[in-house]
């Protein structure tokens, strides 16, 4: 045992070359003893360190932290540990060290015993950690900001949509009110024109009166369409009053009337199958009138217009056919929506573009729908299919 | 002294980027700032600690003054045993937030006599700002190691460059890394200080890392050289002979800036003469209180 003891280095040697830096300072930091390890780490000879104050070896941040944290702790409770400080080497570079210290009272006053451990690797690693944390926090902030932006954009969109809906509904209601109010003055004009017609008139006056009557009727049809439209859009939808009727008779009477309205065109009525069914005669009249008016307006001027009323197994079909330029392919999808014209620059368009919308609504009110085929060769055919309820 | 004062503190809960709540809380000033009152006498001495510490740093001075005066001690929000939940960035992103707290403490805990504010380091400025904000509450200021501006600026010598302060913030960063929440690092035993109770030593100099960084930034980036010239209250400046944080030039500057102020130099290395040279500080303060006539010297 004693032989082993002799082979071990003495205490002084252990302290000199300990794997940590050891210092003894006065209470103001003046270095009184320092081991070889510390001298090596800082690259300074012992003579250059003795008599200097420990805090003067620190980086500026280290000095401030040492003063505000370490010294107060040492004075208050006599020890401090695991504080990381940057020290300045002889060559001006910095080296990070973990700082532990104890403050002891001696007959000659207070002494501070310091032990320092190298922490270069740890510092590098911690810097990377801090940088990653900062980056993660920034990314999180960015993400939160973009989420906030997205949700506020969505809110703005919803708000704009709601506003637009309210405006549209209001506009449609206005159309309804105005159309309704126009009916009375039109009726008065028509009645007055009829009274004028009872008196003997010159041929010219007679012709003018005819124009007045035709125009009034056109205006009345337009108003009926507008009222149906507003009822379909903002009201409870188009109402039908189904009654037992003979389809062929109703459509036949309708075609007869339309012939008077469009004397320059040839209207042909074809019937298929029996005719007894349940439907709204006035609405069917409206439906055929709208389709025929369209055919007159957009079909070839010399083409016959064929109105077919047909009974099939489950459907009642009312179709109107004409020849002429086919309907553009890109319009087919939206043709039955309100306010769209088949031919945009056609000034002779007979309504404001509600006709086909109303045709579809009437068909739907009869649990049916509308369809359309249009080609150069075959011409254009609109078909309204109505469900065929049991009579 | 445990009465509740209304604190118009708006606590914001920033959740998912939305201000979802804005709650007015009532919190006791006593709890918020861990206010402790000792002794009684013809005047009140309010002791305010500086950056990096808490009211325990007054333990070598306060008990002696408590024999003759009313002594009020407190921890600034975010330090010591203050209520950490009372801290929020918007309020404490300038010294003004701390000045408001100080005024509330004085209004609630000061005795009927004159009030003397004893502020260490940054708290000296906080005391001055509180006085300027609401004049009339303080009869005198004792500033220990004060500095109105830590960063050099032209002819003015504050002692630091901006890079130095950045370097401190880095040191704070690396020393608080790995600390969880409000837990101080493990501290080796203090066998020679048995008089310090365990509870006390455990909380000493405790600070939340985020709050400490913010406080360091607010403290060391502050510049109150303009404000301080408006201070008309009697002031004692205790300047250490060798202080890294507040060099003697800063003490001279303040002495010139505050009209009628008294400058006393204390032979001391370091920034905390009230801990390393408490006797000299007590003598200087007593002398000042007697000379200035704020209170008659009570023996």
| Torsion angle of C-alpha atoms B139, B97, B46, B142, degrees rounded to 10 | -60
Does A28 sit within 8 Å of B193, measured CB to CB?
A: no
Contact check, Cβ <8 Å, B244/A63: yes
Contact residues on chain B for A78, CB-CB shorter than 8 A: 190-193
Q: What is the mean pLDDT of chain A?
A: 86
User: How high is the pLDDT of residue B185?
Assistant: 40
The CB density around residue B252, as the number of other CB atoms within 10 Å, is 14
In the CATH hierarchy, which fold is given to the domain comprising A128-233?
Helix Hairpins (1.10.287)
Residues on chain B touching A94 (C-beta within 8 angstroms): none
> Given a cut of 80, is residue A6 above it in pLDDT?
no
Q: Are B258 and B235 in contact (CB under 8 A)?
A: yes
Q: H or E segment at B268?
A: strand B262-269
Q: Reply yes or no on whether B224 is catalytic.
A: no
Query: Is B49 assigned a catalytic role?
Result: no
Q: Is the dihedral of CA A139, A143, A144, A146 positive or negative?
A: positive
Q: A-chain residues within 8 Å CB-CB of B170?
A: 61
For residue B15, the SS3 value is: strand
Q: What is the mean pLDDT of residues B36-50?
A: 94
Torsion (CA) A145, A149, A154, A156 in degrees, nearest 10: 140
Contact A78 B193 (CB under 8 A): yes
Indicate whether A344 pLDDT > 50. Answer: no
Give the 3-state secondary structure of B59-102: CCCHHHHHCCCEEEEECCCCECCCCHHHCCCCCCCCHHHHHHHH
For residue B147, CA distances in Å to A19, A360, B222, B252 come to 41, 86, 10, 10
The Cα A64–Cα B170 span in angstroms is: 11
CA count, 13 A, side-chain hemisphere, B51: 32
Q: Going by C-beta distance under 8 Å and a sequence separation of 6 or more, which residues neighbour residue B131? A: B117, B137, B138, B141, B231, B233
H or E stretch including B165?
A: helix B162-176
pLDDT tens for each residue of A85-128: 999 999 989 999 999 999 999 999 999 999 999 998 888 888 88
Closest residue of chain B to A152, computed from CA coordinates: B18
Q: Is the pLDDT of residue A349 over 80?
A: no
Instruction: Output the pTM of the full model.
Output: 0.59
Instruction: Please tell me if residue B163 touches chain A, with a CB cutoff of 8 Å.
Output: yes
Is B275 an 8 Å CB contact of chain A? yes
Element at A269 (helix H, strand E): strand A267-272
Contact present, B201 and B187 (Cβ < 8 Å): yes
Q: Which CATH superfamily is domain A2-118 in?
A: PAS domain (3.30.450.20)
A74 vs B contacts (CB less than 8 Å): none
What whole-number distance in Å separates Cα of residue A238 and Cα of residue A334? 20
Residue A312: how many other CB atoms lie within 10 Å = 11
Could you say which of B121, B147, B222, B261 is catalytic?
B121
User: Cβ–Cβ of A73/B51 closer than 8 Å?
Assistant: no
Residue appearing with tokens 């985020």: B210
Closest CA to B270 of B260, B261, B281, B259: B281
What residues of chain A lie within 8 A of the CB of B79, using their CB? none
Using one digit for the tens of pLDDT, what is the confidence trace for A52-63?
Answer: 999 999 998 889
ipTM of predicted complex: 0.74
Contact in structure between B194 and A78 (CB atoms under 8 Å): no
Fold for domain A238-387?
Heat Shock Protein 90 (3.30.565)
**Cα separation values, A129 from A118, A122, B53, Å:** 19, 10, 27
A interface test, pick of B19, B175, B184 with most A CB neighbours within 10 Å: B175
* Tokens matching residue B80: 């010591």
- A356 to each of A54, A236, A259, A287, A323, how far by Cα in Å? 96, 19, 20, 9, 18
Tell me which of B162, B174, B176 to substitute to probe the interface with A (most A C-beta atoms closer than 10 Å).
Answer: B174
Per CATH, the architecture of B29-179+196-292 is what? Answer: 3-Layer(aba) Sandwich (3.40)
Q: Taking the alpha carbons of A184, A187, A189, A191 in that order, is the dihedral positive or negative?
A: negative
Q: Are B273 and B144 in contact (CB under 8 A)?
A: yes
CB contact under 8 A, A67 and B196: no
**Element of type H or E holding A104:** strand A94-106
Show the DSSP H helices in A235-330 as ranges: 247-261, 281-298
Over the stretch B116-164, which tens digit does the pLDDT of each residue have? 999 999 999 999 999 999 999 999 999 999 999 999 999 999 999 999 8
- Mark whether B271 is an active-site residue: yes
Query: Which residues are within 8 A (CB) of A61 and not within 5 positions of it... i.e. 6 or more apart?
Result: A86, B164, B166, B167, B168, B169, B170, B171, B172
Give, in order, the Cα–Cα distances in Å from A61 to each of A55, A74, B64, B216, B242.
11, 19, 34, 11, 18
* pLDDT, tens only, B208-251: 777 888 888 899 999 999 999 999 999 999 999 999 899 999 99
SS3 content of chain A, % helix, strand, coil (to 5): 55, 25, 25
The residues, ordered by sequence, that sit 6+ positions from B155 with a Cβ below 8 Å of its Cβ are none
The SS3 assignment for A388 reads: coil
- Number of neighbouring beta carbons within 10 Å of residue B218: 18
Residues B275, B121: Cα–Cα separation, whole Å: 13
| Interchain contact B186–A (C-beta under 8 A) | yes
Among residues B169, B167, B125, B171, the alpha carbon closest in space to that of B144 is found at B125
- How many inter-chain contacts (A to B, CB under 8 Å) are there? 126
Domain range list for chain A? 2-118, 128-233, 238-387
**Per-residue model confidence as pLDDT tens digits over A131-181:** 898 899 999 999 999 999 999 999 999 999 999 988 888 887 788 778 878
Q: Which residue of B has its CA nearest to A124?
A: B174
């Amino acid at each position: 045992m004693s032989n082993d003891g002799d082979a071990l280095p003495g205490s002084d040697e252990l302290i000199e070359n300990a794997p940590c830096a050891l210092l003894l300072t006065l209470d103001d930091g003046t270095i009184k003893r320092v081991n070889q390890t510390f001298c090596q780490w800082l690259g300074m000879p012992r003579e250059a360190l003795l008599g200097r104050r420990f805090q003067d070896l620190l980086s500026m941040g280290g000095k401030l932290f040492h003063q505000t944290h370490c010294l107060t702790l040492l004075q208050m409770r006599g020890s401090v540990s695991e504080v990381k400080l940057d020290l300045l080497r002889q060559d001006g570079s910095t080296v990070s060290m973990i700082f532990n210290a104890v403050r002891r009272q001696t007959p000659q006053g207070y002494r501070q015993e310091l032990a320092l451990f190298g922490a270069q690797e740890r510092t590098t690693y911690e810097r990377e950690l801090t940088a990653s944390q900062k980056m993660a926090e920034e990314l999180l902030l960015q993400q939160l900001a973009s989420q906030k932006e997205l949700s506020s954009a969505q809110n703005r969109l919803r708000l704009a949509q709601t506003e637009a809906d309210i405006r549209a509904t209001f506009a449609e209601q206005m159309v309804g009110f105005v159309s309704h109010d126009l009916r009375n003055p039109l009726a008065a004009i028509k009645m007055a024109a009829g009274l004028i017609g009872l008196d003997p008139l010159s041929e010219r006056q007679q012709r003018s009166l005819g124009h007045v009557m035709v125009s009034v009727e056109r205006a009345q049809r337009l108003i009926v369409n507008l009222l149906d439209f507003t009822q379909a859009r903002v009201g409870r939808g188009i109402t039908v009053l189904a009654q037992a009727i003979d389809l062929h008779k109703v459509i036949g009477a309708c075609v007869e009337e339309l012939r008077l309205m469009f004397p320059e065109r040839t209207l042909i009525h074809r019937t298929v199958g029996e005719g007894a069914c349940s439907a709204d005669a006035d609405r069917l009249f409206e439906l055929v009138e709208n389709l025929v008016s369209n055919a007159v307006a957009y079909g070839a001027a010399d083409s016959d217009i064929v109105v077919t009323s047909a009974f099939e197994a489950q459907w009642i079909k009312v179709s109107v056919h004409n020849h002429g330029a086919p309907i553009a392919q890109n319009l087919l999808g939206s043709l039955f929506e309100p306010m769209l014209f088949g031919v945009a620059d056609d000034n002779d368009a007979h309504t404001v573009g509600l006709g086909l919308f109303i045709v579809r609504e009437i068909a739907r009110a009869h649990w049916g729908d509308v369809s359309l085929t249009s080609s150069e060769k075959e011409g254009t055919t609109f078909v309204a299919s109505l469900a065929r309820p049991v009579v | 002294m445990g009465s509740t004062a209304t604190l118009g503190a708006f606590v914001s809960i920033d959740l998912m980027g939305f201000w979802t709540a804005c709650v007015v809380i009532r919190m006791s000033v006593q709890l918020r700032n861990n206010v402790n009152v000792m002794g009684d006498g013809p005047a009140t001495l309010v002791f305010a600690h500086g950056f990096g510490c808490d009211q325990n740093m007054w333990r070598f001075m306060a008990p002696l003054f408590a024999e003759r005066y009313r002594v009020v001690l407190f921890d600034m929000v975010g330090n010591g045993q203050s209520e950490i939940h009372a801290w929020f960035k918007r309020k404490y992103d300038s010294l003004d937030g701390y000045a408001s707290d100080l005024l509330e403490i004085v209004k609630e805990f000061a005795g009927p006599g004159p009030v003397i504010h004893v502020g260490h380091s940054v708290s000296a400025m906080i005391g001055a700002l509180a006085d300027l904000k609401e004049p009339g509450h303080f009869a005198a200021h004792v500033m220990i190691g004060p500095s109105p501006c830590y960063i050099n600026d032209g002819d003015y010598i504050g002692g630091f460059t901006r890079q130095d302060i950045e370097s401190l913030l880095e040191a704070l960063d690396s020393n608080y890394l790995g600390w969880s929440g409000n837990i101080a690092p493990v501290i080796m035993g203090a066998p020679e200080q048995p008089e310090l109770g365990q509870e006390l030593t455990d909380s000493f100099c405790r600070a939340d890392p985020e709050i400490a960084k913010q406080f360091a930034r607010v403290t060391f980036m502050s510049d109150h050289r303009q404000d301080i010239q408006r201070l008309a209250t009697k002031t004692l400046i205790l300047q250490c002979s060798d202080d890294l944080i507040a060099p003697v030039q800063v003490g001279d500057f303040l002495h010139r800036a505050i009209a009628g102020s008294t400058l006393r130099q204390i032979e001391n290395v370091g920034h905390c003469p009230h801990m390393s040279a408490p006797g000299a500080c007590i003598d200087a303060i007593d002398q000042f209180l007697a000379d200035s006539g704020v209170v008659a010297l009570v023996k």
